């Protein structure tokens, strides 16, 4: 029963975030902060006199959200990527700032632990490499290479030239920052690409 509740809450939160962006048009001001953040930060107080911010405030009020915290987590997301967790709180901005004085390190550790589990078990669902940059053919080459086949063997199995196989492997190696094929396969397995 408790596990089912957690799944429901997780789904509800994802839907809530999607609704937030749809209803408010997102928040360009906070989006810029998220991408430039190098440390944990609180959302600046919103001004109800500004129409866009009033929409956000109304949305937050309906959900009993009085403050927000953004926690960047680096690592385990691949080269050039990091995760940014947005945490909503019923505490006021001042109460949250006071709470953070005592619990900031614990919060970072909890977010990093959560991120580690998420990347370990579910990264294949939203991995940016799979969605944007890796063709099915390159994945076939990588999978067969991971199974111990050499370039000639891979080429004959998927009807591709040996040069084509090496092209895909070199592209993937450069893209993931792998030193060699063994390192490439290890990285791909760690990141759940294969």
Task: Report the pLDDT value the prediction gives residue 37, as an integer from 0 to 100.
Answer: 55
Task: Enumerate the β-bridge partners of residue 70.
Answer: 41, 86
Q: How confident is the model at residue 12 (pLDDT cuts 50, 70, 90)?
A: very low
Nearest to 134 by CA among 192, 73, 182: 192
Q: At what angle do helices 136-146 and 162-176 cross, to 10 degrees?
A: 90
**Do residues 69 and 87 touch, judged by C-beta distance below 8 A?**
yes
Could you tell me if 160 and 118 lie in one domain?
no
Could you tell me if 24 and 119 lie in one domain?
yes
Task: Report the pLDDT value the prediction gives residue 190, as an integer from 0 to 100.
Answer: 76
Which domain does 167 fall in, by range?
130-190
Model confidence pLDDT, tens digit, residues 124-170 = 666 555 555 678 888 899 999 999 999 999 999 999 999 999 999 99
Model confidence pLDDT, tens digit, residues 85-132 = 888 889 988 999 899 989 988 888 888 888 777 776 776 666 555 555
Task: Report the pLDDT value the prediction gives residue 30, as an integer from 0 to 100.
Answer: 58
Indicate the residue among 124, 140, 156 that finishes a domain.
124
Task: Report the pLDDT value the prediction gives residue 68, as an integer from 0 to 100.
Answer: 86
Query: How many domains does the chain fold into?
Result: 2
Could you tell me if 147 and 96 lie in one domain?
no
Could you tell me the CATH number of the domain that includes residue 168?
1.10.10.10
Could you tell me if 141 and 94 lie in one domain?
no
Assessment of whether the complete model's pTM goes beyond 0.85: no
Model confidence pLDDT, tens digit, residues 36-61 = 556 677 777 777 788 888 888 888 88
List all residues 6 or more positions away from 189 whose beta carbon is below 8 Å from its beta carbon. 146
Could you tell me if 105 and 52 lie in one domain?
yes
Task: Enumerate the β-bridge partners of residue 87.
Answer: 69
- Tokens 């959200």 identify what position? 65
């Amino acid at each position: 029963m408790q596990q089912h509740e957690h799944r429901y809450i997780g789904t509800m939160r994802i839907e809530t975030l999607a609704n937030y962006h749809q209803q408010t048009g997102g928040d360009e001001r906070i989006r810029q902060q998220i991408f430039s953040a190098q440390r944990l930060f609180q959302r600046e107080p919103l001004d109800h006199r500004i129409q866009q911010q009033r929409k956000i405030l109304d949305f937050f009020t309906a959900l009993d959200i009085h403050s927000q915290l953004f926690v960047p987590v680096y690592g385990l997301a691949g080269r050039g990527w990091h995760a940014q967790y947005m945490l909503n709180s019923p505490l006021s901005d001042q109460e949250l700032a006071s709470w953070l004085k005592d619990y900031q390190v614990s919060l970072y550790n909890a977010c990093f632990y959560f991120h580690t589990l998420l990347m370990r078990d579910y990264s294949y669902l939203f991995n940016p490499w799979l969605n944007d940059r890796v063709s099915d053919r390159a994945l076939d080459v990588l999978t067969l290479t991971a199974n111990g086949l050499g370039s000639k063997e891979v080429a004959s199995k998927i009807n591709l030239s040996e040069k084509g196989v090496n092209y895909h492997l070199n592209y993937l190696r450069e893209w993931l920052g792998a030193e060699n094929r063994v390192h490439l396969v290890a990285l791909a397995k760690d990141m759940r690409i294969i």
